[in-house]
Amino acid sequence: MTSPTPLPTPVAATPADTAAAVALARRIPKAELHIHIEGSLEPELIFALAQRNGVALPYASVAALRAAYAFTDLQSFLDIYYAGASVLLHEADFADMAWAYFLRAKADNVVHAELFFDPQTHTARGVPMATVIRGLTTACARARAELGISSHLILCFLRHLSEEDAIATLEAALPFREHFIGVGLDSSERGHPPTKFERVFARCRELGLRLVAHAGEEGPPDYIWQALDVLRVERIDHGVRCLEDAALVARLAAEQVPLTVCPLSNLKLCVVSDLADHPMKRLLDAGLCATVNSDDPAYFGGYLNENFAQTVQALHLTRADVVQLARNSFTASFLCDEHRQALLKNLEQSIEKE
Ligand code: HPA
Ligand code: ZN
């Protein structure tokens, strides 16, 4: 009797393979779909704006502020993030913040970005909606003209506030309807399920806005089901906890619902204890449309390429994984089909140039 042919042992990625995958990730054009623009405020810019606007900060120096960036969970981050945003008062502040992000995005070969903004963080301090949206729109137009980066704005409702507050925010933003492509849901997830915002999302849907929501970052898989079935969102922001629910993974895979995953954010907010345990590889292997994003790069230790580099290193992602992630970033975007196809073609040409 002949013994069965042994199965080939999987070939481990060599350090050279991983280095090549990192280099590829850095070099190719990508879209970023999950970046809170207020989370791109670097400590230096927070201090410069505080001085320009005469705002007192509860930190003595840039170093003292940076030293406070030791988070234990989402809420411990949000408390500091909202304090940082308090220096934003005038249209130029919003424009300067977003322009600084676009310069960093350019350095990382980001060619399209979809920026979240949190108007309630500003309107609650007396900053008019017009100031926020006009400032951000100015930077988006400049990024297109001077850097060749296209962008969309996505207005996020703060889920720790009431649905009535979200509805009032939507009404205040409607005079600027042409400047934002969709709405999202962010802030403290636990205890604030998507169902709380069913009516305002239904209204946004009627208005033709694109819909996304944070779900399954700290919250349970049930919040992802709710975001899909009650809010009827097109993308899930984070969504990493879907892996706890096999039926949910099957649904996300079958419908190719994009997940905008943020590895360094998950590490810094203790969603994972080590990047080597990050679920990104499992999400890809399950056939999900996962993307890599920076979330709040000034707070979490890196912009898009740093997220790619550290994730590829920690999980030994392959060049094929990197290509898949970059393709997903365009397919999951809210670009019109013509622009999407052009950017996908540009990506394929860039991959071939090896
Ligand atoms: N989760 C929820 N709300 C947020 C985040 C996040 O990662 N960043 C900014 N607001
Ligand atoms: Zn986020």
pLDDT digits (tens, 9 = 90+) for 203-243: 999 999 999 999 999 999 999 999 999 999 999 999 999 99
CB 311 near ligand 1, within 6 Å: no
Residue 221 to residue 227: CA distance in whole angstroms: 10
Q: What is the pLDDT of residues 238-265, one digit of tens each?
A: 999 999 999 999 999 999 999 999 999 9
CB 319 near ligand 1, within 6 Å: no
Q: Where are the beta strands (DSSP E) in the chain?
A: 30-36, 110-117, 150-158, 182-186, 210-215, 235-238, 259-261, 290-292
CB 112 near ligand 1, within 6 Å: no
Task: Locate the ligand 1 atom nearest the alpha carbon of residue 189 and give its number.
Answer: 2
Does position 63 have pLDDT exceeding 70, yes or no? yes
Q: Are 169 and 133 in contact (CB under 8 A)?
A: no
Q: Are 31 and 111 in contact (CB under 8 A)?
A: yes
Q: How many CA atoms lie within 13 A of 215 on its CB side?
A: 31
Measured from the Cβ of residue 113, the count of other Cβ atoms closer than 10 Å reads 26
| Residue 3 confidence (pLDDT) | 61
Element (H, E) at 77: helix 74-84
Q: Which residues contact 233 (CB under 8 A, 6 or more apart)?
A: 201, 211, 212, 213, 215, 227
CB 265 near ligand 1, within 6 Å: yes
Q: Separation of 279 CA from ligand 2 center, angstroms?
A: 17
Q: Separation of 217 CA from ligand 1 center, angstroms?
A: 9
Q: What is the pLDDT of residues 337-352, one digit of tens each?
A: 999 999 999 999 999 9
Mean pLDDT, the chain, whole residue set:
96
Residue 67 to residue 111: CA distance in whole angstroms: 32
Q: What is the pLDDT of residues 318-344, one digit of tens each?
A: 999 999 999 999 999 999 999 999 999
Q: Which residues contact 153 (CB under 8 A, 6 or more apart)?
A: 114, 115, 117, 133, 136, 137, 140, 179, 180, 181
Distance separating the N- and C-terminal Cα atoms of the chain: 49
CB 295 near ligand 1, within 6 Å: yes
| Residue 227 confidence (pLDDT) | 98
| Residue 2 confidence (pLDDT) | 56
Task: Read off the pTM.
Answer: 0.96
| Residue 10 confidence (pLDDT) | 61
Q: What are phi and psi of 236, to 5 degrees?
A: -110, 125
Q: What are the chain's domains?
A: 15-352 (3.20.20.140)
Q: Separation of 333 CA from ligand 1 center, angstroms?
A: 19
Assess whether 198 carries a catalytic annotation.
Answer: no
What is the DSSP secondary-structure string of 111-134? EEEEEEE-HHHHHTTT--HHHHHH
| Residue 5 confidence (pLDDT) | 72
Percent of the chain exceeding pLDDT 70 equals 97
Residue 100 to residue 37: CA distance in whole angstroms: 10
Q: Which of 217, 244, 255, 352 is catalytic?
A: 217
Measured from the Cβ of residue 160, the count of other Cβ atoms closer than 10 Å reads 15
Instruction: Read off the pLDDT band of 6 (50, 70, 90).
Output: confident
In terms of residues, how long is the chain? 354
| Mean pLDDT calculated for residue range 124-146 | 98
Q: Separation of 187 CA from ligand 1 center, angstroms?
A: 5
- Closest ligand to C-alpha of residue 217 is 1
Q: Are 205 and 211 in contact (CB under 8 A)?
A: yes
Best mutation site among 76, 154, 187, 217 for ligand 1 pocket (most ligand atoms within 8 Å of CB) = 187
Q: What are phi and psi of 114, to 5 degrees?
A: -115, 110
Best mutation site among 159, 295, 307 for ligand 1 pocket (most ligand atoms within 8 Å of CB) = 295
Measured from the Cβ of residue 96, the count of other Cβ atoms closer than 10 Å reads 19
User: Which of 58-62, 148-152, 260-264 is least confident?
Assistant: 58-62
Does position 266 have pLDDT exceeding 70, yes or no? yes
Q: How many CA atoms lie within 13 A of 34 on its CB side?
A: 30
CB 36 near ligand 1, within 6 Å: yes
Q: Are 247 and 211 in contact (CB under 8 A)?
A: no
| Mean pLDDT calculated for residue range 262-287 | 98
| Residue 13 confidence (pLDDT) | 84
Q: Whose CA is nearest to atom 2 of ligand 1?
A: 187
| Residue 353 confidence (pLDDT) | 85
Residue 141 to residue 105: CA distance in whole angstroms: 15
Q: Are 49 and 96 in contact (CB under 8 A)?
A: yes
Residue 142 to residue 138: CA distance in whole angstroms: 6
Residue recorded with tokens 């999302």: 201
Residue recorded with tokens 């509805």: 167
Best mutation site among 78, 236, 237, 241 for ligand 1 pocket (most ligand atoms within 8 Å of CB) = 78
What is the DSSP secondary-structure string of 231-276? S--SEEEE-GGGGG-HHHHHHHHHHT--EEE-HHHHHHTTSSSSGG
CB 159 near ligand 1, within 6 Å: no
